[in-house]
Amino acid sequence: GHAGEDAISDFFKHHPTGKSLQQNVNAAEWTDLITFEGNAQGFRILNKNQYGLKLTYATLGAFTKYPCPALFSDRDKKNRSQKKFGYFQSEKAIFTEVANTLELPRVAEGVYERHPLTYLVEAADDICYSIIDLEDACSLGLIGFDEARLLFENIITRSKSKLGKLSQLASKQEKIGFLRALAIGDLMGECASLFLDSEQQILEGKFNYALADLCPSKDALKNIIAISVEKIYRARQVVEIEAAGHQVLPGLLEEFLNAGIHMLENKKSRKYDNLALLLPEDILLNVKQAPDHYTMTRYIVDFVSGLTDRYAIGLYKRINGMGV
């Protein structure tokens, strides 16, 4: 999540090992490292050869909500497509090929207008991010069922006639799942209609809004987000996990990046030779073949950022002698 992005970014900004890499990369690569971005990491993962996805240009273009790099001096954050960035320097050539093939309007060097279908991808992301979090919060007891039900019902308009089935469901889990499905369905319909109504503006690059911010249920959705911030994202168990992440992720990055640096620079160390053996086979092979510090670092970040919370904590404990 965003806490993980911040923890990785802070490692390169503030940690001695992270900061030491600045002298070995160029300005654009350094900006990538100090502003880790999940959207750019997603684009990188989708283009990894070992997954065999072979997605079309249109799919990759639609996926990219922010068709620009991290280092972009004229960035306008009021422009939705420039609020963040969508690809790292390691994928610059791939994204340029995607943009040119799709004939995305060019704004500046490496910067483009969005693919029209990106607005639907963004809407799906916004809807799921809000609705699924509310369902999970209810399941975890962070929000009561009656409160969650009211929040969902404020969104359910087109499918209101189906709410009668709720009384036929036995468990709260089934009921909240049913409400979630109806809410997502109605929001999808609202955003799809708005997309079609705004098609010409979108095609001309003049639409600068998120569909979820303009749909008929926008106020109800904003209310869910406000309550989520108050009762979910600030809940003690969530804050504890985020706090642990700011300790665990930098700890793993320090050790495995040092192992990568030792391999790249042909330095010998029993400790880091052993740590290197803990890397997945494909990551280890890529690190060994990396031509420079930036490429090596990207592979180590791939590994650390892809760990689940539980596995990351367990690995951190083991390599620090706490779980042996």
Segment 107-157, tens digit of pLDDT: 999 999 999 999 999 999 999 988 988 888 888 888 999 999 999 999 998
Of 112, 138, 157, which residue constitutes the final position of a domain?
112
Cα–Cα distances in angstroms (integers) from residue 186 to residues 43, 141, 194, in the given order: 29, 25, 12
User: Do 241 and 219 share a structural domain?
Assistant: no
Rounded to the nearest 5°, which phi and psi values hold at 108? -160, -175
Q: Number of structural domains, the chain?
A: 3
Count of other CB atoms within 10 angstroms of residue 189: 15
Which CATH number goes with the domain that contains 155? 1.10.3410.10
H or E element at residue 61:
helix 57-63
Please give the Cα distance from 106 to 88 (Å, whole number).
Answer: 18
Question: Looking at the domain assignment, is residue 26 inside a domain?
Answer: no
| Tokens encoding 282 | 């494909």
User: Do 294 and 278 share a structural domain?
Assistant: yes
Segment 197-240, tens digit of pLDDT: 999 999 988 899 999 999 999 999 999 989 888 887 777 877 88
Tell me if residue 141 falls in helix, strand or coil.
coil
Q: Is the pTM of this model over 0.75?
A: yes
User: Do 207 and 140 share a structural domain?
Assistant: yes
